[in-house]
Amino acid sequence: MALPRDYAGQRCSVARALEIVGERWTLLIVRDAFYGLRRFGDFALHLEIPRAVLTSRLRALVDEGVMERVPGPGARDEYALTEKGERLWPVVRELMHWGDDHYSPDGPRRIFRHRQDDGLIGAGGRCATCGALIAATDTTVTAGPGFEPGAPATEPALLAFQTERRLLEPARPA
């Protein structure tokens, strides 16, 4: 039980997983990372999360091996998902799917496709065209019918949420 807010006594992998990604904000940080955000300031800007909390969450994610701190294109470090972190994609996907089903009356806000054959990715994460399970790296996002663009992004990194793109591709080009 490594984390401060643990679920002592729960002998279950759901509880164990939630000790890592179940704290407030954490899974949204991971989601943003799938969309290509990598810098402290970009997470803070997009999530409107208190900076101290962001510091704490990033540290915990790095400690747990979900993200790693890597040198960025400039002199600044960036935070990137590790492979362990990328494997959280199914969790994020299913959560989004459930949210779309129940809280997005006009249909999904985002649609995912298999990068190789452009096939739709449906429930269970399989490509409707080739039938394979598609990892985050091979997934592209595009706007769905329920997408609400809001104000056009003023900050370059936040464009990642309004344009078609490949998951995990850095939002800030090098």
Partner DNA sequence: CACAAAGGTTCAGTCACCGAACCTAGATTG
Partner DNA sequence: CAATCTAGGTTCGGTGACTGAACCTTTGTG
Q: What six digits make up the tokens of 154?
A: 């003023």
SS (H, E, C) 63-124: HCCCEEEEECCCCCEEEEECHHHHCCHHHHHHHHHHHHHHHCCCCCCEEEEECCCCCEECHH
Total residues contacting a copy of itself (rule CB under 8 A)? Answer: 49
**Is residue 23 involved in binding DNA (CB under 7 A)?**
yes
Residue 90's binding partner among DNA, a copy of itself, none (Cβ under 5 to 8 angstroms by kind) is: a copy of itself
Among 74, 90, 145, 156, interactor with a copy of itself by CB under 8 A: 90
Smallest distance, DNA to C-beta of residue 116, A: 33
Q: Are 58 and 28 in contact (CB under 8 A)?
A: no
For DNA, which is the closer residue by CB, 72 or 108? 72
* Contact mark string toward DNA, 73..92, x via CB under 7 A: -xxxxx--------------
Bridge-based pairing of strands 110-114 and 139-143 is: antiparallel
Q: Which residues bind DNA (CB under 7 A)?
A: 4-5, 23-25, 39-42, 48-53, 55-56, 58, 72, 74-78
